[in-house]
Amino acid sequence: MSKGKAVQSIKFKLCVTFICAGLIPMYVSTIVFNYRFQDYLILSTVGVLVFVFGLFVVGRMFWTPLGKVVEAADRIADGDVWYEIGVDRTDEIGQLACAVDAMRVSMKQQIDHLDALVAERTAELEHANEKLGHDAMHDGLTGLPNRQALRSQLQTELAMFHQDESHLISVLFFDFDRFKVVNDSLGHAAGDALLCSIADRFRVELRRIDLPARFGGDEFVVLISEVESPQHALDAADRLLKVFEEAHVIDGHRIVSTASIGMVVANPRYTNAVDMIRDADAAMYQAKLAGKNQVVVFDEHMLADAKYRLKLEEDLSKAIENNELRVMYQPVIGMEDMTIVGFEALIRWEHPELGLVSPDQFIPIAEDTGQIVEVGAWILRESLQQLVRWDKELGLEHELSINVNVAKGQLIHPEFLGLVKEVLESTGISPHRLKMEITESTAIDPRHDMSVVIDRIRELGILIAMDDFGTGHSSLSLLHKFKFDILKIDQSFVQGMEESREMSAVLHSIIALAQNTGMKVVAEGAETESQVACLIAHECDMIQGYYFSCPLTAQDASVYLTEPFDYSQAA
């Protein structure tokens, strides 16, 4: 019931009570004293008026303070806790007013307390929101803006460039060398310290208007604003390249981590920040390919290359399952009796849309993505099974061997040795007929001691060949350390041999040195009769090259085995 109705109801009940209290004695006096009806009417009217007046006076004494209490209670219920009841009495009504007022004071205190709590929580929430906003836009480790912050700032500046082309901007994509080596050899804490040190250099070297961002891993992207000309941006990139040539000191170690930088300058074709970053990334990839520690400016061909690479990367995962991989076999000819000693297995990919893809294009991708483990296992099994087929079908007098190229990703894989044993067992091929070709860069790895796994392979009876000798460090001490059985001299050496007397002399010494330590020497890439004659003169043990045969399909290799070419003319 509302406050108004409650007061009305009290007033009504009091009136009825008093009227009844006035009328009853009058009726009694009429009967007892036998008054006339007119007298009775006058008397009773006067009596009623006197009673009503009395009743009004007495009633006011109760319902006015009660009404105040009810009104106060109602206002408090409406939230007006500042409203004080103006009743100054000591009787029950006064006590009621005091109780209601005490309740009001208590409620006010609670509300004040709640207000303070809400204010405190709101401040905490605002702080948390601010932190969330900052974290969403910054890298947790280095404190630099992150990928998202970069994109949004670049998008804004790109829009400004479209409005006014004198507002030129440039994006530099950085990839740092040796970060993974530091991570693996000195631990993740040292890797993190290196990243922080790199970030600090950006902070010091860049202008306030430029934006350095950590893009992920050891990749950083810098947005250079207010560029005067493309040359200005290139100068900035060159300067940063020099800055990163200086060593970082991490845990007392001096670490040089040079940068590969891809650069792109805004042009009207760019409407999207993502496209500019993508192109700078493609240019960075070319800077890495070209030997690292350099700046490469993006051009359109790089984008096509990057797209092609991405397509290969995506499709490679299905290549085995779709039966798109092929093995080609290139004969290796023994110089002693001019007979074929075996084949090198060389992989090809028959891509349904792109045609035949060379291993130089997809093996590096397979190595980067780890798919080399699967691809390498496939070619090992396939080539040994082919050897079994030749054994059965051709009934050759001498045993053929098979050379299989093995990449770093395979060697360091924990199940590699198990796989090799299983393939040898299931095909029944004797281990000494298998030769594994390993390049120098695979053998030298600061993170893994390759000598352990190479020793295990040799313990199985498999022969190990050092591939592409002459393209890397050409370290003779490495040959000694790993006790290679075979040395394969790279085709660049063979093809340069005739042009330079020094090269020919070096080749002669290498062959002699390798043979003195018990190694057999294979020369690769012999294309002409004179090259073969020259290699024979240097007493090379085996030769592989287009002069004898290019890589063949298994079927053509079978024909080659049964109808051999007459090599004797080369001797």
Contact residues for Ca ion (CB under 5 A)?
405, 437, 467-468, 524
Return the number of the residue (315 or 437) whose C-beta is nearest Ca ion: 437
Q: Which is nearer to ligand C2E, 359 or 564 (CB)?
A: 359
CB of 437 or CB of 541, closer to Ca ion: 437
Nearest to ligand C2E of 125, 356 (CB atom): 356
Binding partner of residue 279 among Ca ion, ligand C2E, none, CB cut-off 5 to 8 Å per kind: none
Residue 359 site contact among Ca ion, ligand C2E, none (CB < 5 to 8 Å, cut-off depends on kind): ligand C2E
Residue 341 and residue 159: Cα distance in Å, rounded? 66
Q: How far is the CB of 502 from ligand C2E (least distance, A)?
A: 22
CB of 530 to ligand C2E, least distance (A): 13
Contact 280, 173 (CB under 8 A): yes
Choose between 341 and 347: whose C-beta lies nearer to ligand C2E.
347
Nearer to ligand C2E, 440 or 524 (CB): 524
Task: Tell me 541's DSSP state.
Answer: S
Q: Name which of 261 and 486 has its Cβ closer to ligand C2E.
A: 486
Q: Of Ca ion, ligand C2E, none, which one sits near residue 570, judging by CB under 5 to 8 A according to partner kind?
A: none
Q: How far is CA 97 from CA 42, 74, 94, 220, 259, in A?
A: 42, 13, 5, 73, 82
- CA dihedral sign of residues 399, 333, 517, 421: negative
What torsion do the CA atoms of 290, 295, 299, 301 make, to the nearest 10 degrees? 20
Cβ partners under 8 Å of residue 473, min gap 6: 440, 444
Which lies closer to ligand C2E via its Cβ, residue 255 or residue 328? 328
Report yes or no: 488 and 453 within 8 Å, Cβ to Cβ.
no
The partner in contact with residue 527, picked from ligand C2E, Ca ion, none with C-beta cut-offs of 5 to 8 angstroms by kind, is ligand C2E
- Amino acid at site 389: R
Is the CB of 22 or the CB of 525 nearer to ligand C2E? 525
Minimum distance of Ca ion from residue 342's CB (angstroms): 13
551 binds, among ligand C2E, Ca ion, none (CB under 5 to 8 A by kind): ligand C2E
Residue partners of 99: CB distance under 8 A and separation at least 6: none
The angle formed by the CA atoms of residues 284, 211 and 151, to the nearest 5 degrees, is 70
> Site residues (CB under 6 A) for ligand C2E?
330, 346-347, 358-360, 363, 376, 379, 405, 407, 437, 467-468, 491, 524-527, 544-546, 551
In the complex, least distance from residue 543 CB atom to ligand C2E, rounded to whole angstroms: 9
Among 473, 414, 482, 465, CA closest to 441: 473
337 binds, among Ca ion, ligand C2E, none (CB under 5 to 8 A by kind): none
Closest approach, Cβ 571 to ligand C2E, in A, equals: 18
For residues 119, 121, 124, 130, the Cα torsion angle rounded to the nearest 10 degrees is -80
Q: How far separated are the first and last CA of the chain, in Å rounded? A: 123
Tokens for 186, please give them: 């000195």
Q: How far is the CB of 384 from ligand C2E (least distance, A)?
A: 13
- Tell how strand 211-216 and strand 168-176 pair up: unpaired
Give which of 151, 393, 358, 375 is closest to 275, Cα–Cα: 151
Strand, coil or helix: 479? helix
Q: Which does 379 bind (CB under 5 to 8 A by kind): ligand C2E, Ca ion, none?
A: ligand C2E
Closest CA to 489 of 551, 444, 440: 440
Among Ca ion, ligand C2E, none, the one that 541 touches (CB under a kind-dependent 5 to 8 A) is none
Q: How far is the CB of 404 from Ca ion (least distance, A)?
A: 9
At closest approach, how far in Å is the CB of 467 from ligand C2E?
Answer: 5
Least Å distance, CB 330 to ligand C2E, is 6
Contacted by 183, from ligand C2E, Ca ion, none: CB < 5 to 8 Å by type: none
Distance CA 97, CA 103 (A): 10
